């Protein structure tokens, strides 16, 4: 707990305040109702700058659908982006993209059982300075959604396919499990048969008039709210725009026959008296594609409001209970022969009327009954004996840390997060008062909670409290009667007092047994007394700027210092060879990103040892790579706001994470421990983890996507071993002792590592950490300094020289086709940085064109992704080009794989193309992927339009401005810069950044339809059909035995 928490003033909860609604806030918020009943929330927020997050929330979802309408609420949401009274043919999408709001990321919507919410993220300032016009047009779009959606047959025809594709995507193993769980939980309620995705028969055949009638009945202003949170110079002006566009919109729509303002229906009563039940429900769910064996234990409760301090206090108790229980379950999962691999309790909202506590468990195959008994015994143990004071204290410390972060970043929240809070206030009365008040309220309420309060929460998690117990496996290994028998057996043991108290393990006092010794002259130079080794450094060793400068000059552990003025970065070289880079920002008050990176990774490992080396991360995390077992370290870090995770890739090793500025000392301790700890493997210590890895491999073999993705990588990367998933045979060959040794070797030489700190990190505060923990890491004799990235061993990969077109037939329960087209991309080394920016624009252009064709025009797909990949190319490569690839991926109806002649008609311009070209297009249209290739081909031949280029430039400007307000952007610039070839050649990080920035500026200035067309021909194979791969996953229906393997007994 930091001093900020201790100094927080408490909230007055005297009199009726404790049970009264928390006032909506903070100060400056504009909220209320328009004359037509529509609610509004308008608030200023300057993060990110010149941006606004907008939302239209409608208290209408799938719940109100009648049987012939199941799925209509969701279809209506799709139609909103298709056509309205003012916009046709997805022109709304085109307009929003033209101002920088890309589809999906910045314009989106969702439908649940209880609500439909439309969200936009738009600029508040145009390049020409016309600030009001963009925002007004965006608010006008919300008014189109609210009152002017067009439900014409031709519009619906374009959306049916996309909605059907979404239905197919939701029907994988996880989707089937979720749907079955929903029906089991809400059995007997109207919700049971109102999943938002709806019925296939309705999606395919519902008439447009039925959707229009639904819209007229339910989309009424008193069920709506508009939320606008952004960088507004005048919130009152924004409210005026909302009033202007949303005020008269409904009357105008009613006059046009789009809405019926009078006689709107009320939401039906949804929960019968029997929705709560004292008899538990049991289900054995078997799905042959299931990826885990495990359990879902659910307890239903009425929706828990958080409108008053008293109600919020109860939710805080729930959070603390979950933290205590999950800490105990984690310790059980860490035993030598654990009853389960993982288990945790969380609270969720099933729907507007019902919340639930869900205990999810992953366990060994055929051991679900044992896992069930273990978690139920632990709940019973809490009811009988309670949590220990130590467990309670750890949970409280974590909550205090969260409260402090909330306060520190009170004025730094993102407009999207704040917008979503007000949406939840409208939908569910969640209190929103501003982060400062929220932090103070939390601090005021937390001391009111006792360990006895937390223990009492377990009383509601019994089999007599609306409990639903479900096991999940890929085969049915036991019956529902077996589940019931376990539940009743644990209940009998609890009643008979046969469950003893928790045996609390011993804990060390600190992360490090001994603080490294620092030369006393350093403290003398700084005018400080040497610290007490038993106390933390902070805040006693915070140095002023003058002392810090003197310390850096005099400290034996620091051998040099360098400043990079363009990046505003300070670099230190330590005597042990470690390099430190420190970039201070003010984006978030309680965030420091940390990465320790070293050049050289798994590509250096001989092929026969590859899988042994790649398992070293699993070994390290299990054995305790920071000097303590994970369960011990987790408790030592209770209340600390930090995370660190080592990993190893093809060409680098890294330790990545983040921390609060107040926990940087602990970061130093963990890095010191990681690089000095002599990790040892004890017999049997890895057995349970290796069993879990083995089951994971077996589960992959059941996944329809596994064989497909494996084949894609095999074809595209010439069967490079690095991309081959580990097999059971290879797992049996793994040498765990060698894995342990590889881990120690990978992270033991400080001279190989550069440690980068980005965020609210003061050099004067970090210097004692550097001195005490990082500078005292012993140098590794005979290991040398950092690797030169130009000497790395490259991965053996090669893209096929000729086109490869394949179908991969796989068994699957629910048929789905997925295609990936991959094209090689070569960047000319001398201008590679510029060409990366060109490639980014080309990928975005191609993705937009394909989305327009495949989804908006033909309705064949739900989404399309176009992405580049250069992960194979080593920094040591010396060829004329840097090689990567661009992939185009989408899923579709299996029936769409074989295309008809009309597709060729839509692709080929029959008015201008000659007969030979049309015949070639018709022949090429055999596969759906041909349309994607034809789209790229036409872009190469004809280029983009000026409007498309203008949209690309706006979206890029939008993204670039947003990125530069993020710690993660600058952190990646520095971390990647140190690993770059340009830095290896010149040793100047500012020059690396200038190259990135100048290359972007140059490309943006030069981008026209003609220059982008030229780059499409220069970067991609030209013609594009000369070299590519197209791999399609096709369903092979299971035989009789396979069909019998899929059962969901509910």
- The residues annotated with a catalytic role in the active site are 77, 159
Calpha distance 1014→631 (Å, rounded): 57
405 contacts 660 by C-beta, under 8 angstroms: yes
443 contacts 314 by C-beta, under 8 angstroms: no
Calpha distance 117→777 (Å, rounded): 53
- Nearest 5°: the CA angle 909, 913, 918 is 80
Assign residue 50 a region: left if phi > 0, alpha if psi is -120 to 50, beta otherwise? left
- Nearest 5°: the CA angle 925, 929, 933 is 85
With b for 16 or more beta-carbon neighbours within 10 A and e for fewer, the 100-129 pattern comes to: bbbbeebbebebbbbbbbbbbbbbbbbeee
Strand order in the sheet with 579-584: 558-564, 569-574, 579-584, 753-759, 592-599, 652-659, 642-648
Calpha distance 700→691 (Å, rounded): 14
Could you please report the per-residue DSSP string of 443-482? HHHGGG--HHHHHHHGGGSSTTSSEEEEEEESS--S-HHH
Provide the total of helices (H) and of strands (E) in the chain, helices listed first. Answer: 38, 24
Closest C-alpha to 1029, from 927, 960, 898? 927
Closest C-alpha to 221, from 251, 244, 191? 251
CA dihedral 743, 747, 749, 752 (to 10 degrees): 120
Closest C-alpha to 648, from 704, 598, 706? 598
DSSP state of 196: T
Closest C-alpha to 225, from 150, 146, 147, 149? 146
Calpha distance 830→515 (Å, rounded): 49
Backbone phi and psi for residue 599, each to the nearest 5 degrees, phi listed first: -70, 140
Cis peptide before 539 (omega within 30 of 0): yes
Closest C-alpha to 167, from 76, 74, 79, 103? 74
Closest C-alpha to 76, from 63, 60, 89? 60
Strand order in the sheet with 354-363: 342-349, 354-363, 293-302, 467-473, 281-286, 1047-1049
3-state secondary structure of 1046: coil
- Nearest 5°: the CA angle 172, 176, 182 is 145
264 contacts 216 by C-beta, under 8 angstroms: no
Closest C-alpha to 841, from 1025, 1005, 1030, 994? 1005
Calpha distance 100→88 (Å, rounded): 20
Residues 6+ apart with CB under 8 A from 671: 596, 644, 655, 755, 773, 774, 777
3-state secondary structure of 586: coil
In 897-988, which ranges are continuous DSSP H helix? 901-907, 915-924, 929-942, 946-963, 967-978, 981-986
With b for 16 or more beta-carbon neighbours within 10 A and e for fewer, the 997-1007 pattern comes to: eebbeebeeeb
Calpha distance 501→482 (Å, rounded): 27
């Amino acid at each position: 707990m930091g001093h900020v928490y201790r100094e927080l003033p408490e909230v007055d909860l005297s009199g009726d305040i404790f049970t009264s609604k928390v006032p909506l806030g903070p100060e400056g918020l504009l909220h209320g109702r328009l004359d037509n009943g529509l609610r509004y929330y308008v608030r200023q927020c300057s993060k990110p700058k010149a941006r606004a997050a907008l939302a239209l929330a409608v208290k209408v979802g799938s719940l109100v659908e009648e049987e012939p309408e199941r799925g209509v609420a969701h279809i209506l949401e799709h139609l909103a982006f298709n056509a309205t009274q003012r916009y046709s043919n997805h022109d709304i999408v085109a307009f929003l993209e033209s101002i920088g709001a890309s589809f999906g990321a910045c314009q989106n919507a969702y439908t649940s059982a209880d609500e439909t919410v439309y969200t936009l993220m738009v600029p508040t300032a145009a390049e020409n300075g016309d600030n009001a016009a963009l925002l007004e047009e965006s608010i006008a779009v919300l008014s189109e959604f609210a009152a002017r959606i067009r439900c014409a047959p031709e519009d619906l025809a374009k959306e049916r396919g996309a909605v059907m594709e979404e239905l197919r995507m939701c029907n994988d193993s996880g989707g089937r499990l979720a749907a079955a769980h929903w029906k089991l939980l809400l059995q007997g309620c109207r919700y049971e048969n109102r999943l938002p995705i709806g019925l296939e028969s309705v999606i395919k055949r519902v008439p447009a008039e039925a959707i229009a009638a639904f819209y007229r009945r339910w989309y009424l202003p008193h069920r709506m709210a508009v939320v606008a949170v952004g960088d507004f110079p005048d919130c009152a002006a924004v409210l005026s725009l909302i009033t202007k566009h949303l005020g008269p919109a409904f009357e105008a729509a009613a006059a046009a026959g789009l809405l019926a303002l009078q006689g709107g229906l009320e939401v039906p009563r949804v929960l019968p008296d029997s929705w709560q039940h004292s008899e538990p429900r049991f289900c054995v769910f078997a799905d042959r594609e299931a990826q885990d064996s495990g359990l879902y234990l659910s307890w239903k409760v009425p929706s828990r409001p958080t409108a008053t301090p008293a109600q919020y206090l109860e939710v805080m108790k729930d959070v603390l209970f979950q933290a205590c229980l999950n800490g105990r379950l984690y310790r059980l999962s860490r035993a030598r022969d654990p009853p389960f691999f993982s288990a945790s309790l969380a609270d969720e909202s099933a729907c507007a009327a019902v919340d639930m506590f869900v205990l999810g468990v992953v366990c060994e195959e055929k051991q679900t009954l044992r896992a069930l008994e273990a978690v139920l015994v632990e709940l019973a143990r809490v009811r009988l004996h309670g949590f220990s004071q130590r467990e309670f204290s750890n949970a409280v410390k974590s909550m205090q840390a969260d409260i402090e972060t909330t306060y520190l970043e009170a004025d730094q929240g993102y407009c999207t997060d704040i917008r979503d809070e007000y949406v939840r206030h409208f939908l569910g009365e969640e209190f929103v008062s501003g982060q400062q008040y929220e932090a103070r309220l939390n601090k005021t309420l937390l001391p009111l909670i006792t360990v006895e309060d937390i223990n009492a929460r377990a009383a509601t998690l019994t089999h007599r409290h609306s409990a639903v117990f479900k096991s999940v496996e890929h085969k049915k290994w036991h019956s529902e009667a077996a589940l019931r028998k376990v539940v009743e057996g644990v209940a009998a043991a609890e009643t008979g007092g046969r469950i003893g108290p928790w045996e609390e393990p011993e804990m060390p006092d600190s992360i490090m047994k001994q603080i490294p010794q620092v030369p006393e002259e350093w403290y003398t130079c700084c005018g400080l007394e040497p610290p007490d080794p038993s106390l933390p450094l902070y805040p006693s060793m915070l140095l002023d700027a003058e002392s810090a400068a003197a310390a850096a000059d005099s400290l034996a552990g620091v051998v040099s210092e360098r400043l990079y003025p363009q990046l505003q970065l300070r670099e230190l070289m330590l005597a042990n060879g470690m390099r430190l880079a420190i970039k201070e920002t003010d984006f978030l008050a309680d965030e420091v990103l940390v990465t320790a990176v070293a050049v050289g990774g798994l590509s250096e490992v001989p092929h026969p040892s590859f899988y042994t080396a790649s398992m070293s991360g699993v070994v390290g995390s299990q054995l305790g790579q920071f000097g303590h077992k994970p369960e011990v370290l987790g408790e030592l870090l209770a209340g600390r706001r930090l995370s660190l995770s080592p990993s190893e890739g093809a060409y680098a090793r890294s330790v990545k994470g983040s921390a609060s500025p107040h926990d940087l000392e602990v970061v130093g301790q963990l890095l010191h421990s990681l690089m000095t700890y002599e990790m040892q493997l004890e017999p049997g210590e890895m057995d349970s983890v290796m069993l879990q890895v083995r089951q994971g491999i077996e589960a992959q073999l059941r996944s329809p996507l596994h064989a497909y993705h494996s084949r894609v990588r095999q074809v595209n990367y010439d069967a490079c071993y690095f991309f081959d998933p580990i097999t059971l045979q290879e797992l049996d060959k793994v040498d765990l002792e060698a894995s342990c040794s590889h881990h120690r070797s990978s992270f033991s030489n400080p001279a190989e590592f550069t440690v980068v700190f980005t965020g609210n990190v003061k050099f004067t505060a970090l210097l004692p950490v550097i001195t005490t923990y990082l500078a005292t890491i012993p140098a590794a004799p005979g290991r040398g300094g950092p690797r030169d990235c130009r000497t790395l061993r490259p991965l053996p990969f090669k893209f096929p020289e000729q086109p490869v077109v394949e179908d991969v037939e796989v068994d699957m329960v629910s048929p789905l086709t997925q295609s990936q087209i991959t094209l090689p991309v070569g960047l000319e080394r001398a201008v590679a940085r510029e060409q990366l920016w060109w490639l980014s624009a080309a990928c975005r252009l191609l993705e937009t064109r394909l989305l327009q064709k495949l989804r908006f025009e033909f309705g064949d797909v739900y989404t399309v992704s176009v992405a580049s990949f250069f992960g194979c190319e080593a920094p040591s490569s010396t060829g004329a080009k840097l090689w990567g690839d661009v992939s185009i991926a989408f899923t579709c109806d299996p029936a769409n794989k074989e295309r008809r002649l009309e597709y060729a008609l839509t692709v080929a311009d029959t008015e201008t193309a000659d007969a030979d070209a049309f015949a070639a297009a018709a022949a090429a249209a055999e596969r759906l992927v041909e349309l994607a290739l034809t789209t790229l081909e036409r872009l190469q031949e004809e280029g983009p339009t000026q409007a498309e280029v203008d949209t690309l430039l706006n979206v890029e400007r939008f993204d670039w401005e947003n990125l530069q307000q993020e710690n993660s952007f600058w952190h990646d610039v520095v971390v990647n810069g140190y690993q770059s070839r340009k830095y290896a050649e010149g040793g100047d990080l500012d020059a690396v950044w200038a190259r990135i920035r100048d290359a972007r500026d140059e490309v943006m200035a030069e981008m026209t339809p003609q220059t982008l067309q030229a780059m499409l021909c220069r970067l991609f194979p030209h013609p594009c059909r000369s070299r590519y791969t197209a791999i399609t996953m096709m369903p092979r229906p299971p035989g009789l035995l396979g069909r019998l393997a899929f059962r969901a007994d509910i």
